[in-house]
Every structure is written in structure tokens, then in C-alpha cells.
Amino acid sequence: MLLAPVEYARPSTVQDAVRLLSTHDGARPLAGGQTLTNVMKARAAAPDVLVDLNELHELRSISSEGGGLELGAMATLNGVIRSSEVASARPIIAEVAAQIADVQVRNRGTVGGNICSNDPTNHLPPLVTALGATMTVLGSDGERTVPADEFFVGVYMTAVGPGELLTKITVPAADGAGDGFASVPIGKDGTCIVNAAATVKDGQARIVLGCVSATPVVLSAAPDEASVREAVQGAGLDPPSDVHASSDYRRHLAEIVAVRAVEGAQG
């Protein structure tokens, strides 16, 4: 289906982008367009104005600060995969980005777009939550930072409000932590049925499950199989049923991927 008519703006500064977003009620940022143009074609979203972020080159930067990372919201998935900063600071981010969809999606799709869409089957929301990332959100009233634990608020909903822009994702230094990720996708590189990210540090695992709820589910446990299974069983998960998996099967898979993610985090 063709796109419905829509106004289009391509600002060259972040300030102009925020001004456009905050002065038009129906304005929406356009990043890689890998989700947004599809939902617009399906008439599931109908913004009045698309504010294209692709001229905002400063939002593409990836830098390393004190062993941690600053990922510009417009850094592409392929940019992350190729980044030497990511490879040395938190290589799990590149490993997971490389599992997303196909090369075309990874060339166009951005880290910010993946996180802001908050599709519960996406790879990055549980990962950035497990890593303890912080999101920087800019609006006409200024900048604020939101911890990942509070950023994802519902299906397709995040703490980024109307008129605001996610500008960067700050990932702390590993500082001795190990990181892991595991998923059961629909075929190779397909959408996840269930996924889990984990960090293990000082004998404690932080485990974040995806695809089982509207927002990533955060758990903690000792990093052994029995404790991880017990934490998942005790989480009161009520995952959705669909054509790919029943609720019971997703609950079962959640235990499996949580154990694998924690094992991966311990090398």
C-alpha cells in the first residue's frame, strides 16, 4: 500500500528537529524508517509531519568514555557492529545487533529507532536494560536522562514524549561484568519468540527477559542454573500466545534463554 500524504521536514540541527517536533502536534521523528514507514503503509500510524533525523550527523557518533559508551540515537545497527569502541567496551551490543533481521535493515535501522519503537520482540530493549544504560531525551524544556529501567513504559511506548527526541544512549563501563544474550527466533535472524540479556558481576546476575511482557522484565539471581530457573519461575510471567508460541511455551523458553544468557555472560 502507498503512504498517505504527509508533510516532510529534514532539519540540519538537533534544535530545529526539537522545534519542529514540539510545534506540530502530529509530528514524528523518522530515523531509519524500517518500522515507521511500514506502520504508515499499514495505516497503523498517520503522522502529519515526518521530521527526518538523517541530516543530524552528530547523532550518529559512537564514542567511548571512561570504558563506557555513548551511542548516538542515529547510529545504525551496522555502525555499531563495525565500531571498534563497541568491540572494546561492550562487544555484546555488536553481537546482538548482528542478529537483527538482514543487512538492509541493519544498514538503515538505528539504535534509537529500535529502542524508541519498543516492539516487545526487539533485541535491544532487554539488552540496554541489562547493561544499565541511560537514555538522554531532549525537548523544548531541555534535556533529561532516563534509566533504561524506566524508559520502556508499554507496547510501542517509551518515556520519550510528544515533541521530544532521544539523542543518545549511555552504556556504563563493564567494570568486571560479563554480558550475555540468548534468544529463540523464528528461523535464522528472525523475530524473537523469547529473548534474554544478562550481566553477571560480583556473583550476581541481572537478567532481562524480552517478548514475555509489554516491557522488558528485570530479574536478579545467583548465576547458577537452578537459581536462574527459580527466578524466572517466580516472576509470575503471563506471556502472550500467538501463532508462533503458546503462553506456556514462551514461559518455558524464558527459563531456557535466561540460563543461556547467564552462561554466556560467564564466558
Ligand X SMILES: Cc1cc2nc3c(=O)[nH]c(=O)nc-3n(C[C@H](O)[C@H](O)[C@H](O)COP(=O)(O)OP(=O)(O)OC[C@H]3O[C@@H](n4cnc5c(N)ncnc54)[C@H](O)[C@@H]3O)c2cc1C
Q: Which residues of this chain interact with ligand X, rule CB under 6 A?
A: 28-36, 38, 53, 73, 100-101, 105, 108-110, 112-114, 116-117, 122-124, 160, 165-166, 191
Choice between 11 and 113, CB closer to ligand X = 113
* Whole-number Å distance between alpha carbons of 122 and 38: 15
Rounded CA separation 37/138 (Å): 23
Q: Based on CB atoms, which residue is closest to ligand X, 96 or 205?
A: 96
Give the nearest distance from C-beta 115 to ligand X in angstroms: 8
| Residue 34 vs 199, nearer CB to ligand X | 34
Residue 65's CB: how many other CB atoms inside 10 A?
13
Q: Which helix (H) or strand (E) holds 221?
A: strand 217-221
Query: Which single residue brings its beta carbon nearest to ligand X?
Result: 113
Cβ 156 to ligand X shortest distance, Å: 8
State the nearest-atom distance from the C-beta of 132 to ligand X, in Å. 19
Judge whether 205 and 260 are in contact, CB under 8 Å: no
| CA-to-CA separations, 258 to 121, 137, 152, 196, 235, in angstroms, rounded | 15, 30, 20, 5, 12
CB of 166 to ligand X, least distance (A): 4
Q: What phi and psi values does residue 151 have, to the nearest 5 degrees? A: -80, -40
CB of 102 to ligand X, least distance (A): 7
C-alpha distance from residue 201 to each of 32, 111, 131, 258 (Å): 35, 25, 11, 16
Q: Report the residue number, 34 or 228, with the smaller CB distance to ligand X.
A: 34
Instruction: Provide the minimum distance between the beta carbon of 227 and ligand X in the complex, in angstroms, as a whole number.
Output: 28
Residue 114 or 215 with smaller CB distance to ligand X: 114
In this complex, which beta carbon is closest to ligand X, that of residue 53 or of residue 146? 53
Where do the DSSP E strands lie in 10-133?
27-30, 49-52, 62-65, 68-72
Strand partners, 8: 50
